[in-house]
Amino acid sequence: MDVLTLSRLQFAVTSMFHFIFVPLTLGLSVFVAMVETRYVLSGNEMYKRMAKFWGKLFLINFALGVVTGITLEFQFGMNWAEYSRYVGDIFGAPLAIEATVAFFMESVFIGVWAFGWNKVGRRFHAFSIWMVALATNLSGLWILLANGWMQHPVGYVLRNGRAEMVDFLALITNPFGLLKFGHQIVSGYTVAAFFVMGISAYHLLKARNREFFKASFTMAAGFALFATIMVAVVGDFHAADVAKTQPAKFAAMEAVWNTCNNAPMHLIAFPDAKNECNLVSALPVPGLLSFLAFHDSNAEIRGITSFPKDERPPVLPVFLSFRLMVGLGTFFIVVAAAAFFLAKNGLLEKYPLFLKLLVLIIPLPYIANQLGWIVSELGRQPWIVYGLMKTSDAVSKSLEMSQVVGSLAGFTLLYGLLGFVDIYLLVKFARKGPEETHVGATGAFGN
Partner 1 sequence: MDLHIVWFVLWGVLWAVYFMLDGFVLGAGMLHRVLGRNDSDRRVIINSFGPVWDGNEVWLITAGGATFAAFPTTYALMFSYLYTPLLLLLFALIVRGVSFEFRSKEEGAAWRGCWDWAIVLSSFIPALLFGVAFGNIFSGLPMDQAGYHGSLLALLNPYGIVSGLLFVMLFAEHGALYVAVKSTGDLSHRAENLAKTLWVPLLLVAVLFLGYTNFATKLYDNYLKAPVFLVVPLLAVGALVGVRMFLGAGNALSAFAASCVTILGVVGTGVIGLFPNLIPSSLDALYSLTIYNSSSSEYTLKIMTTVAFIFVPIVILYKIWVYRLFRERVTAEAVAADHEAY
> Does 36 contact partner 1 by CB under 8 A?
no
Residue 79 or 151 with smaller CB distance to partner 1: 79
φ, ψ of residue 135 to 5 degrees: the values are: -65, -40
Q: State the nearest-atom distance from the C-beta of 421 to partner 1, in Å.
A: 6
> Does 93 contact partner 1 by CB under 8 A?
yes
* Piece of the chain touching partner 1 by CB under 8 A; list 224-232, 310-318, 351-359, 390-398: 390-398
* Piece of the chain touching partner 1 by CB under 8 A; list 101-109, 182-190, 242-250, 371-379: 101-109
Residue 332: half-sphere exposure toward Cβ, Cα within 13 Å:
39
> Does 173 contact partner 1 by CB under 8 A?
no
> Does 378 contact partner 1 by CB under 8 A?
no
Residue 142 or 332 with smaller CB distance to partner 1: 142
> Does 97 contact partner 1 by CB under 8 A?
yes
Residues facing 278 on adjacent strands: 271
> Does 63 contact partner 1 by CB under 8 A?
yes
Do 216 and 31 touch, CB atoms closer than 8 A? no
What is the rounded CA–CA span in Å between residue 202 and residue 216? 12
Of the candidate residues 108, 230, 277, 338, the single one contacting partner 1 (CB under 8 A): 108
Residues 312-351 that bind partner 1 (CB under 8 A): none
Residues 256-275 that bind partner 1 (CB under 8 A): none
Q: Cβ-count burial of 417 within 10 angstroms (0-12 exposed, 13-18 middle, 19+ buried)?
A: exposed
> Does 444 contact partner 1 by CB under 8 A?
yes
Of the candidate residues 422, 430, 433, 434, the single one contacting partner 1 (CB under 8 A): 422
> Does 403 contact partner 1 by CB under 8 A?
yes
Name the residue type at position 342: L
Which pairs with CB-CB distance under 8 Å and at least 24 residues apart come from 109-115?
A: 109/135, 110/59, 110/62, 113/55, 114/55, 114/59
Residues facing 158 on adjacent strands: 163
Q: Describe the crossing of helices 175-205 and 45-79 by its angle, rounded to 10 degrees.
A: 140
Q: Which of 172, 171, 128, 176 is nearest to 151 (CA)?
A: 176
Q: State the nearest-atom distance from the C-beta of 108 to partner 1, in Å.
A: 5
Of the candidate residues 13, 16, 46, 66, the single one contacting partner 1 (CB under 8 A): 66
Q: State the nearest-atom distance from the C-beta of 432 to partner 1, in Å.
A: 11
> Does 78 contact partner 1 by CB under 8 A?
yes
> Does 420 contact partner 1 by CB under 8 A?
no
Of the candidate residues 107, 173, 261, 298, the single one contacting partner 1 (CB under 8 A): 107
> Does 159 contact partner 1 by CB under 8 A?
yes
Is the bond preceding 264 in cis, omega lying within 30 degrees of 0?
no
Of the candidate residues 9, 13, 46, 59, the single one contacting partner 1 (CB under 8 A): 59
Q: How many residues bind partner 1 (CB under 8 A)?
A: 80
> Does 29 contact partner 1 by CB under 8 A?
no
Do 373 and 191 touch, CB atoms closer than 8 A? no
What is the rounded CA–CA span in Å between residue 292 and residue 412? 40
> Does 205 contact partner 1 by CB under 8 A?
no
> Does 437 contact partner 1 by CB under 8 A?
yes
Do 106 and 135 touch, CB atoms closer than 8 A? yes
Of the candidate residues 267, 414, 427, 435, the single one contacting partner 1 (CB under 8 A): 414
Q: State the nearest-atom distance from the C-beta of 329 to partner 1, in Å.
A: 32
What is the rounded CA–CA span in Å between residue 412 and residue 195? 25
> Does 13 contact partner 1 by CB under 8 A?
no
Of the candidate residues 121, 314, 406, 416, the single one contacting partner 1 (CB under 8 A): 406
Of the candidate residues 6, 22, 51, 90, the single one contacting partner 1 (CB under 8 A): 90
Of the candidate residues 407, 430, 433, 434, the single one contacting partner 1 (CB under 8 A): 407
Q: Could you tell me the end-to-end alpha-carbon distance of the chain, in angstroms, rounded to an integer?
A: 49
Q: Which of 224, 219, 225, 226 is nearest to 44 (CA)?
A: 219
What is the rounded CA–CA span in Å between residue 370 and residue 325? 9
Length of the chain: 447
* Burial 340-363, CB ≥16 within 10 A → b, else e: bebbeeeebeeeeebbeebbebbe
> Does 100 contact partner 1 by CB under 8 A?
yes
> Does 165 contact partner 1 by CB under 8 A?
yes
Residue 432: half-sphere exposure toward Cβ, Cα within 13 Å:
19
Q: State the nearest-atom distance from the C-beta of 382 to partner 1, in Å.
A: 21
How does strand 277-285 pair with strand 156-159?
unpaired
* Piece of the chain touching partner 1 by CB under 8 A; list 156-164, 251-259, 298-306, 330-338: 156-164
